[in-house]
Amino acid sequence: MKKSNENGLSRKKAIICSVMAIVILLVSEFLSSIPALLLQIAGIPSMIGIVLNGFLYISLTLVLVKLFFGKIMHLDMAGLGLTRFSVKPKWLLAGFLLPIAVMAVYLLLLPGEYVSSDMGRGEILETLGIGVFCTGFGAGFVEEIVFRGVIFNSLRKAFNTKVGVILPSVLFGIVHILGMDFSLGSCLLVILAGTAAGIMFSVITIESGSVWSNALVHSLWNIIVIGGGVTVALQPSESSAMTYIPANKSFIVTGGDFGIESSAISLVAYIAVIVIALMMMKKKTGAEENGI
């Protein structure tokens, strides 16, 4: 087996980086929840703990990534997609349009009914807070730092870009079924949709040159689709202020046990963004070749 490619990163080292990136994600998730829990026990308003949890999750992940991969593994942070924070306006726009378009299909085009969770004002604010700061920015940024930052770039350097895109994307899909009591059909659907979403985030990373644009796209998707405001599901959701229950119960339309993120509608949206990103990359390459 070839020890390393032209970028000088051995395959063994890339695998170690990939495993440790997942470990860092899990450690950060655990540690970031402790201060929020202590604040709750102390009677501090829950919203403060929620905001702190999301902030710490991202901060701890960045600190541990820089310590381990920068100081111990001696890797360049920019080479892992962790450049100075910058988001391209076109991907900020796409971050809003992607989830809004998917939700619009369900809420405007597919018949169904709204069911209120009957939450009080405080419960709604807490639910939305979790959706924005923890499920949204926390999970969105950390997952992109790990999967499209460390893992993608490590595998791309040790193997090639195709391996860097496909392997983390399949892993991203598999991670979403771990510990879940899903049917076989739902598991396959989640892996398919998760892989497509992973490829989508990967091509955004390549096009934008860092993880920050796709981290924001991921975060906005989480906030709008599963952030606790209006959720599309087959049964009333206890973690959302309002649930829209579509009349069409088709496995493909509803996404099975996982929900609409693994539905055919979302899958089409992921593929559309992949195609757009690839077209942007092709146009950019053409312009560079022509000296524009």
pLDDT 10s digits, 160-195: 999 999 999 998 889 888 878 888 888 999 999 999
Extract the tokens encoding 71. Answer: 């100081």
CA distances (Å), origin 14, targets 29, 81, 98, 130, 198? 23, 15, 32, 34, 19
**Gap between the Cα atoms of 85 and 156, Å rounded:** 22
Q: Given a cut of 60, is residue 121 above it in pLDDT?
A: yes
* 257 is a domain residue: yes
How many helices (H) does the chain have, and how many strands (E)?
Answer: 11, 3
Banded pLDDT at 4 (limits 50, 70, 90): very low
Report pLDDT for 6.
Answer: 43
Least confident of 5-9, 75-79, 108-112: 5-9
* 5 is a domain residue: no
Banded pLDDT at 32 (limits 50, 70, 90): very high
Report pLDDT for 8.
Answer: 63
Report pLDDT for 26.
Answer: 95
Report pLDDT for 7.
Answer: 54
Tally of domains within the chain: 1
* 1 is a domain residue: no
Average pLDDT, integer, range 72-97: 94
Report pLDDT for 175.
Answer: 86
Following DSSP, what letter does each residue of 52-64 receive, concatenated? HHHHHHHHHHHHH
Q: Count of alpha carbons within 13 Å of 37, Cβ hemisphere only?
A: 6
* 4 is a domain residue: no
* 3 is a domain residue: no
Which residues, in sequence order, are CB contacts of 148 under 8 Å at separation 6+? 81, 168, 198, 201, 202, 205, 211, 214, 215
Q: Given a cut of 50, is residue 1 above it in pLDDT?
A: no
**Gap between the Cα atoms of 163 and 130, Å rounded:** 34
Report pLDDT for 178.
Answer: 84
Banded pLDDT at 275 (limits 50, 70, 90): very high
Report pLDDT for 289.
Answer: 59
| pLDDT digit string, tens, across residues 261-270 | 999 999 999 9
For 182, the domain range is: 11-285
**Gap between the Cα atoms of 282 and 273, Å rounded:** 14
* 52 is a domain residue: yes
Beta-bridge partner residues of 243: 115, 231
* 186 is a domain residue: yes
* 2 is a domain residue: no
Report pLDDT for 185.
Answer: 85
Extract the tokens encoding 127. Answer: 């639910």
**Gap between the Cα atoms of 7 and 10, Å rounded:** 9
Q: In what order do the strands lie in the sheet with 112-116?
A: 112-116, 242-246, 230-232
Which residues, in sequence order, are CB contacts of 209 under 8 Å at separation 6+? 81, 83
| Whole-number average pLDDT of the chain | 91
Residue with more model confidence, 177 or 92: 92
